Structure 1
Amino acid sequence: MHRKCHTCLCRTCLNTCCDHKECPGKKAECKRYSGFWQMRLFEPTPKRNMRVLAACEESQRVCIEFRKLGHEAYSCDIEPCSGGHEEWHIQNDVLPILNGNCEFQTVDGMEHRIDGKWDMIIAFPPCTYLTVTGNRWFNVEQYGDKAIKREEDRKKAIQFFMRFVHADCEKIAIENPVGIMSSNYQKPDQIIQPYEYGHTERKRTCLWLKGLPFLTPTNIVEPELHICGNEVVDSKWHYDTYSLPPKIRAKERSKTFLGIAKAMAEQWGKVDEPTELQYHSVHRHSWQHYGITKERYMQLTEYIQSGRYASLASQAAHRANETIAEYILLSVTQNKSYDALRVKWELKEMEQIPYCRTDFYGIRRYFYYLFDLEVRKEECMKN
C-alpha cells in the first residue's frame, strides 16, 4: 500500500468511504494517509519556538535577537527597559518566575503565562560585588563599615548568582565579567571577547553553560585600544565610559554587545529539524523525510556497529517502537534485512517477526532520526 490519499482511510476496512461513524480507524479531515501501517508514532509534532528568559537584562538586546527568530522571549529586570519593547519586558524580581509554571505581567499591562519550564534562561546577574576590579573596596582597615557592608552585599550577590545555576531549566547561560565566581563556584566554561563578534572593544566575558554549546566567533576584528603616552591603557570604549556618572557608567558597561547577542540567538536559538514533518509532500519512509543524508546514515551506522553511543542507540530504538526495539538494533548491528530476520523466524531462531516489511523499514528510519538527534546533543555537550 504505497498510494497516497488526501482523504481519511479507515484502518479497519481500508475504505476511504467508510459509513460507520464509530469506526476507530476513521480520522475526519486529517488530510493524511492513515492506512493500517500509518502508525501514530509517525504523526508530526507541531513546531514550537522556544520560550526564552533573558534575566537581569534591561537593554533587551538578547531578548530582541531571539524575538527576531520567532521565539517567545522576555527580558526581566527591576529597571525599566531601554530596548524600546515594553510588551516583552517584565519589570519585576526575576526569582518568582525563574522555574517556569508562572504568570506575569509585562510593562504594557498584558498578562502572560508559562506552562512548564522555560526552554532557555540567559542570565546577566549584577557584577558590582562579584567582579575582581572592585576587590580594593573590601579592605576593612581602610574603608571600615563600608567594606563590611560591601562584604554582606557580596554574599547576597553570590546567592543570587547561584539561584540561576540551580534553576529548573535544561538550557542555561550565565554571563559575568572575570570575578570571584571562578573560585566561589567554578571556572567558566568559556571566556569570550567582543572583538570576536565584530566589535573593536576588549572585555573578557565569562560564560557558565548548561546544556548549551560554546559560542563560535562570528567576526574577529582588531581591538581598538586607548594609548596614553607610551602605555596601552585599555579598550577605548572602556576608557570613554569613565567620563559618565557612576550609575550610568555601570549601566552602559553592563549592556551586552550586539554581536554577542546576535550570536547567542543564532547559535543557541536553533530548533531541531525536522520539527514538522510534511507527510503529504515527502514520502514518510524516505531519508529526505527525516533530513538525513547518505553520508550521515553511514556515519550513524558506524557508531552503532562499533558500540559507540550504545546507550543512546538503545534509548532511540525503544523510543521508536518498544515492541521491536531489539530487532531494529539487530538489523543495524548485523546488517540484517527484513527478509534475513524473517528467515531467522522461519528457522525458529526468533520468537516473532516485526510487523510487515513497510512498517519495519519505516520504524528503522525513525530510529535513525531519533538517534541522530541524541548524538548531536551529546556532541554539543562535549564541545
Structure 2
Amino acid sequence: MQTSMFQLFDAHPNRPLKVLIGCEQSGIVRDAFNALGHDAWSCDLMAADRPTNRHIVGDVRDVMMWDDWDLLAVMHPPCTRLCNSGVRWLTTPPPGRTLADMWQELDEGAALFSDVWNVEHIPMVAVENPVMHRHAKERIRNFRPAAQSVQPWQFGTDEAGPDNEKKRTCLWLRNLPKLRATGTLDGSTARDSVHKASPGKGRWKERSRFFPGIAAAMADQWGGAAQLAAHAA
C-alpha cells in the first residue's frame, strides 16, 4: 500500500527537536512544541508574558546563530509597516510621525523578515505575517509568495473557544508542509474581535497574540516533518 505524504509527516521518529520560536512573548507556540517533548525556546526583545526559563530576551537574529536549531518559526515579527492594512501610512503618516519614520520602519521590518527567511544553517523555517503590500515584497531578499494562508477557526472545535476567530494569517514555509486544518468549525460563527479590538496601548499585543489550535497543529505536523527529515539525515 502506498504511503501518503501526510502519513510520512506524522511518523514522528523518536528524536526531540531543537526549536526556536522567534518574536513570541506569549509562549503559545513554544509550549505546544514542548508539550510534544521537543526542546523549544521562545525569543523576543521583550520579557515573556509569564515567568518561564524557556524564554530568551534578545534579537532573534542573534539567537538563531547560537545553536544548531532544527526548526525556526518566527511567529509574530513586527508587521505594522509590511502589511496591506498599514500601507496608507506610507503616503500620509499618522499624527506625530513623519514619512521618513514610516519608510525607515518599513525598511527595518523588511530587513528582519529577510534575515530570518534567508538563514542558511537552519534547515526548516516558517515565518508568519499578514498579507503584504508591494513595497514590502520589493525589499525582502529572495521573496516568494506565502505558501498558504489559514484562519484560526479552521483549527477550532469549540464555538466559544479562543480559536473561533477570523484573522487571515499567511505562512512562508521552507522545507515544511502546509498545515492541514484540524478543526470542526465552518467559520459561520467565527468572531471578528481581533480586528475590532479597542484602540489603546495594548491593542498591538492583543492583535498579534497567537491561537492555540494553530500552534498545536504546527507542533504536531511540522514537528513530525522535521523529525522525519532529521531521522533520515
| Structure-2-length-normalised TM-score | 0.79
SS in 1 for 2:73: strand
Residue of structure 1 equivalent to 2:128:
175
Aligned to 1:219: 183
Larger radius of gyration: 1
Q: 2:215 corresponds to which letter in structure 1?
A: A
Please tell me whether the aligned partners of residues 71 and 122 of structure 2 are also in contact (alpha carbons under 8 angstroms): yes
Deviation at 1:225, TM superposition (A): 6.4
**Are positions 1:95 and 2:49 aligned together?**
no
- Amino acid in the other structure paired with 1:209: L
Kindly state the Cα deviation for residue 85 of structure 1 after the two structures are TM-superposed: 4.5
Alignment of structure 1 residues 163-242 onto 2, 5 Å:
163-167=115-119, 168-180=121-133, 183-184=137-138, 185-198=143-156, 199-223=163-187, 235-241=191-197
1:86 counterpart (49, 52, 57)? 52
With over 3 angstroms needed to count, the CA separation of the structure-2 counterparts of 1:173 and 1:134, relative to structure 1, is same
Are 1:256 and 2:210 an aligned pair? yes
Q: CA deviation at 1:238?
A: 2.4
For these two proteins, the number of residue pairs brought into alignment is: 206
Matches within 5 A, 1:14-163: 47-82=14-49, 84-99=50-65, 102=66, 114=67, 117-124=68-75, 125-140=77-92, 146-163=98-115
Alignment-mate amino acid for residue 132 of structure 2? G
Name the SS for the 1:195 alignment partner: helix
Percent pairwise identity: 34
Structure 1: segments with no counterpart, 5+ residues: 1-45, 103-113, 227-234, 276-372, 375-383
Quickly say closer, same or farther: Cα 1:96–1:217, change in 2 above 3 A.
Answer: same
Shift of 1:264: 0.2
Contact 1:62 1:262 in 2 (8 A): yes
Name the SS of the counterpart of 2:202 in structure 1: helix
Contact 1:137 1:143 in 2 (8 A): no
Q: Structure 1 residues 141 and 264, CA, compared in 2 at 3 Å: closer, same or farther?
A: closer
Letter in 1 for 2:31: I
Gaps of 5+ in 2: 1-12, 157-162
**For 1:200-251, what per-residue CA distance to the aligned partner results, in whole angstroms no more than 9, with x for missing partners?**
211111101011001000014133669xxxxxxxx4312541x251x31110
Structure with more relative contact order (C-alpha pairs < 8 Å, separation 6 or more): 2
Structure 2 residue aligned with 1:335: none
Would the aligned equivalents of 2:74 and 2:128 in 1 still touch at CA under 8 Å?
yes
Give the secondary-structure state (helix, strand or coil) at the position aligned to 1:201: coil
SS of 2:98's equivalent in the other structure is: helix
Query: 1:133 deviation in Å?
Result: 0.7
Tell me by how many angstroms 1:180 deviates.
2.6
Cα distance, 1:272 vs. partner? 2.9
Q: Could you tell me whether the CA contact under 8 Å between 1:225 and 1:236 is conserved in 2?
A: no
Q: Distance in 1 between matches of 2:58 and 2:21?
A: 13
Aligned-CA RMSD value: 2.7
**Runs of 4+ residues over 3 Å off in structure 1:** 140-145
After TM superposition, give the deviation of residue 135 of structure 1 in Å: 1.3
- The whole-number CA distance in structure 2 between the counterparts of 1:50 and 1:268 is 10
Alpha-carbon offset, residue 98 of structure 1: 1.5
